[in-house]
A and B are shown apart, each in its own frame.
Chain A
Amino acid sequence: MKEINNAVCTFCGCLCDDIAVVLGDDGGVRVKGACTNGKGHIEGYDAAPVSPMVRGEPVSWDQALDEAAAILGDAESPLIYGLSSTASEAQRRCVALADRIGAAIDTTSSVCHGPTGIAMQNFGEPTCSLGEVLNRADLLLFWGCNPAVAHTRHFTRYSLMPRGRFTPRGRKDRRMILADVRRTPSANAADRFLQVEQGSDYEVLGALRALVQGKRVRADSVGGVPLEELGALAEELGSCRYGAAFFGMGLTMTSGRDLNIGQYFSLVRDLNAHTRFSVVALRGHGNVAGADAVMTWQTGYPFAVSLAGGVPTYGPGEFTAVDMLSRREADAALVVASDPGAHFPAGAVRGLEGIPRVVMDPVVSLTAQDATVYLPTAQYGVDAEGTYYRMDGVPIRTRAFRERLRPTDEEVFDGVLERLHGGRVESTTPIEEVQR
């Protein structure tokens, strides 16, 4: 038996790095300290080598990479999508590949926090690392999100419960406010729940901003919230010592999208005229924040980038995967560690089904099942090391605690890139070794 401490759970944007993993002599893995999501993610991964597939037939890694390189190299309008559940080392090579073949490249941000990025570009973003919340925040505002279910350990590790330098009594030193269109399990943890009418977040936030700015609002209620309640809330927000605002897809993916987030960010900015206040997006996938970061340092833009013209061109709505696929603008696809086949709207899924597609994923997702080329890679945080960026942008190196029997995503990208340059996979020795 062996115990590994401070392992990193790569499942969600909380990126908890206090996980203990017990390796049994029989090869079994037991996870301690993670939530059920994380436990399932780590324990449920079978690290055994799997044969890559081309059109449903098992093939050698060499053949699979040849085929992947041929599909991507021959395409005139290739689309690369995903990236949020792989390490930044792989993401960096993936953008290099996109640059090499002139692909459009988009991340899962475009279907979750893409609007957050757009709002940031329009309004700025007053933010902080999660440790500031832990140490300082005496007021927490959650809007359009359900961390109790989606980011299970957020409350205990970062926001609601922990004791910090200026919050020595933990939960007792904090107030929590939740705003949402319905009572979710997260509401049970809140001191105040604000029920907002569906589709009215923008208006409610606008009214709140006006009140925080000391202006009069001529209405009895806004978005189903009585004005007195809004006034009390504005008062409460402005009189804390350090406020922390969080939000999720209830704001980003409902009507208003980036405008909602623009209001939310502006509210936080306004509050800084009275007190200190920061905002952090609750990012879903383990390394979606890393995907944003890598895309930005290599292309200048966080998602929805076309490299077809030889230069990076930004186009949410134009080079976003759903739009390109629905409009049948891609003639080949590379899907990296994501499952658009399961999550995209029907029109986009049909667009994807109509073109050759290469899928890289440690597990056989719905998209992987009938991929033209399926490349089963290692799982960062289990049998591979790599960098993941937490929802607040803090980069953490994942630990590998199982023997690696599959190639990593980086090695697969290297293999494809070398083939596109007319070479072979010499530098990616593990691939053939791993095949045995």
Chain B
Amino acid sequence: MSGTQPVGILGGFLYDPANGVDGAVRDIWIKDGRVAAPEEVDREHARIIDARGMNVFPGGVDLHAHIAGAKVNHGRKLCPEDHADHKRNRAEGGRSGAGFTVPTTFMTGCMYAELGYTTVMEAACAPLVARHTHEELEDMPLLDKGILVTLGNNEFLFDCIARGETERARDFIAWTLQAARGYGIKVVNPGGVENWKSQRGNAHHWDQEIAGFGLTPRRVLDTLIGAADELGLPHGVHLHGLNLGTPQSAEQTLESIRFAQGRLHLTHLQFMSYGDDGKGRFRSRTEELAEAVNANSNVTFDVGQIVFGPATTMTSDGPFQYNLGCMTGHKWFGGDEENETGGGIVPLRYSRKNRINALQWVTGLELFLLAEDPWRVALTTDHPNAGPFFCYPQVIRLLMDRDYRAEILETLPASVRKRSLLKDIDREYTLGEIAIITRAAPARILGLSRKGHLGVGADGDVAVYHPDDDGARTPRCRSVVPCRRALDLPRWVLKGGRVVVEAGRFTGETGDAGTTFHVTPDYDPSVEKPLRNHFKRYYSVAFDNYPVQDAYLGSGESVPCR
């Protein structure tokens, strides 16, 4: 990044909550790809961006999206009908692409940048196929990224925990993160996926037995949370818990908050917030969940907000995806990964008229609006599970504009509307709070110190929006009610100090492929002996061929553990 022309972004209203700036007029100078003090910059040779009257934000940070790897790619392949009307012409600069809910790699990078986002975390990857994810990330320009590694159904880990070998378990977790070149620990339906694979079962509560292992999901989660803290990982355990999308989910989520002894990030909490109204019908339990989250400072969450329209569900939650396939009758892709995890894909469409979908939409917004501390909240749609990432501007508008919210709420089934808390919530997010939940908070939750803010030394990732451009982009969705959008169409986006978007459009200058963040926690190498034996007995690849080689890291950066 060195050698690029210095840049000054002058006179804009700066939203940099991490540095306590909330809309004050400030200049930003960038040198060698990083934010620099004004006196360090050779201003005569700098490119000057006149940002007067504009809102200046750090580049967006998405801490949970499915953008690359085996599962995502099966999602692309599964739905050619999804791509038909959504293509990117190579004449627009860079590479051509296709895909609506699951765009191709080059297109994903460009579309994120065109929203003002510059950092994205791939939300779930089995270490066995991590090499694939890294290959796709290399083909995804304009973004810095990392991968969360699925560890909640790992059989070697299960064996260690069952034998009471907590330290060995921790060494193994560190070894796996390094082998996969991963960034953090992802847990998906711990034990439930194993039970699905071995018995066509699931895990419905934290004390259910994981068949054949003499173990419970509770012990697995406990061990992982403890390990993340002991290894000093920059990001705590990233949990997709039990009973996703069912009326039994809220109970187990509340229980996990109760027993978690360390950092816990509850991902796509919207899907995990449901109870039963006593008559067997779905009801949302946002009030209790918000209360529990508010009271526990070790807990953070992202929402997974529903966006009405098409989506592609893809998770490592094998039994959930199978059940969803049966329920909808849609095509179902399932994928069991030896010793590690499972998963599936089902295309879906969220409809305003559908009572459950409407309730899900309401639930997500309630979670956003009932959470007291925006620093523990991140905006996501669990792309592409609850909706595609390029609908973030619509979600931002819903949070900032009570009237728009009311207008959409009016179109939902009366039974949902009447019983919602949402209709009585007046809160509107400020631009500063939006900067927190889309930039500063996700960066802090991930432990990425140079992201999500624009203090000296931060990465030169900046998005500059004109206030009047809000919603100006022709909606790319097929929304029935006109889609209103905020923080759409940035005038400029800079990635590492390089201008990559002008007037909302990719400039065609990709530069490098972006940095892949990963961690290298210490471990006792004696874990490799039993592991080698485990591979010999139960894996279909050789132990020596398993770890992802340096060749796949491009410009990788190891983020230090504490």
Could you list which residues of chain A lie within 8 angstroms of chain B, going by C-beta atoms? 5-6, 8, 17-18, 88, 92, 96, 99-100, 117, 120-132, 134-136, 157-158, 163-166, 242, 269, 272-273, 275-276, 278, 292-293, 296-302, 307, 310-312, 314, 385, 387, 389, 393-397
Q: How far is the CA of A389 from the CA of B197 in the complex (A)?
A: 23
Q: Is the CB of B131 closer than 8 A to any CB of chain A? A: yes
> Are B538 and A96 in contact, CB atoms less than 8 angstroms apart?
no
Q: How far is the CA of A271 from the CA of B332 in the complex (A)?
A: 13
> Are A126 and B333 in contact, CB atoms less than 8 angstroms apart?
yes
Q: A121-B79, A124-B78, A394-B129 are in contact. Are A88 and B135 (CB under 8 A)?
A: yes
- Chain B residues with Cβ under 8 A from A276's Cβ? 196-198, 200
A5, A125, A387, A393: the one contacting B135 at CB < 8 Å is A387
> Are B338 and A296 in contact, CB atoms less than 8 angstroms apart?
no
Q: How far is the CA of A17 from the CA of B74 in the complex (A)?
A: 24
Q: List 7 A-B contacts (CB under 8 A).
A: A92-B135, A120-B77, A130-B338, A130-B540, A134-B538, A166-B198, A387-B135
- Chain A residues with Cβ under 8 A from B104's Cβ? 296-300, 312
CB distance from B532 to the nearest CB of A (A): 12
CB distance from B415 to the nearest CB of A (A): 32
- Chain B residues with Cβ under 8 A from A165's Cβ? 155, 537-538
Interface string of B95-107 (1 = CB under 8 A from A): 1111100011110
Q: Count of B residues near A, CB < 8 Å?
A: 62
B96, B338, B549: the one contacting A131 at CB < 8 Å is B338
- Chain A residues with Cβ under 8 A from B555's Cβ? none
> Are A278 and B98 in contact, CB atoms less than 8 angstroms apart?
no
- Chain B residues with Cβ under 8 A from A275's Cβ? 200
CB distance from B36 to the nearest CB of A (A): 32
B83, B106, B197, B545: the one contacting A396 at CB < 8 Å is B545
Q: How far is the CA of A394 from the CA of B545 in the complex (A)?
A: 11
Q: Is the CB of B90 closer than 8 A to any CB of chain A? A: yes
Interface hits, B378-415 → A, CB 8 Å:
none
Q: How far is the CA of A56 from the CA of B78 in the complex (A)?
A: 44
A92, A302, A311: the one contacting B87 at CB < 8 Å is A311
> Are B90 and A99 in contact, CB atoms less than 8 angstroms apart?
yes
> Are A296 and B325 in contact, CB atoms less than 8 angstroms apart?
no
CB distance from A219 to the nearest CB of B (A): 27
Q: How far is the CA of A382 from the CA of B177 in the complex (A)?
A: 30
> Are A120 and B542 in contact, CB atoms less than 8 angstroms apart?
no
Q: How far is the CA of A226 from the CA of B353 in the complex (A)?
A: 49
> Are B96 and A307 in contact, CB atoms less than 8 angstroms apart?
yes
User: Smallest CB-CB separation from B103: which chain A residue?
Assistant: A300
Q: How far is the CA of A299 from the CA of B97 in the complex (A)?
A: 5
Interface hits, B164-216 → A, CB 8 Å:
196-198, 200, 212
Interface string of B60-86 (1 = CB under 8 A from A): 000000001010011011111001000
- Chain B residues with Cβ under 8 A from A393's Cβ? 70, 129, 132
Extra 9 A-B pairs, beta carbons < 8 Å, given A99-B95, A272-B334, A273-B326: A6-B542, A125-B333, A128-B337, A131-B539, A135-B339, A135-B538, A276-B198, A300-B99, A385-B551
Q: Is the CB of B22 closer than 8 A to any CB of chain A? A: no
Q: Is the CB of B544 closer than 8 A to any CB of chain A? A: yes
Q: A132-B336, A298-B95, A311-B87 are in contact. Are A397 and B105 (CB under 8 A)?
A: no
Q: A128-B337, A136-B197, A298-B105 are in contact. Are A157 and B540 (CB under 8 A)?
A: yes
- Chain B residues with Cβ under 8 A from A157's Cβ? 540
User: Smallest CB-CB separation from B345: which chain A residue?
Assistant: A124
Q: A124-B332, A157-B540 are in contact. Are A310 and B89 (CB under 8 A)?
A: yes
> Are B336 and A129 in contact, CB atoms less than 8 angstroms apart?
yes
> Are A17 and B97 in contact, CB atoms less than 8 angstroms apart?
no
A8, A120, A269, A394: the one contacting B540 at CB < 8 Å is A394
Q: A92-B135, A131-B339, A132-B338 are in contact. Are A300 and B76 (CB under 8 A)?
A: yes
Q: Is the CB of B136 closer than 8 A to any CB of chain A? A: yes
A100, A130, A301, A397: the one contacting B549 at CB < 8 Å is A397
- Chain A residues with Cβ under 8 A from B436's Cβ? none
- Chain B residues with Cβ under 8 A from A125's Cβ? 74, 78, 333-334
B77, B131, B333: the one contacting A301 at CB < 8 Å is B77
CB distance from A276 to the nearest CB of B (A): 5
Which of B80, B128, B334, B539 has the largest number of chain A CB atoms within 10 A? B334
Q: A297-B76, A298-B104, A387-B135 are in contact. Are A278 and B334 (CB under 8 A)?
A: yes
Q: Is the CB of B32 closer than 8 A to any CB of chain A? A: no
CB distance from B400 to the nearest CB of A (A): 34
Interface hits, B254-283 → A, CB 8 Å:
none
> Are B339 and A310 in contact, CB atoms less than 8 angstroms apart?
no
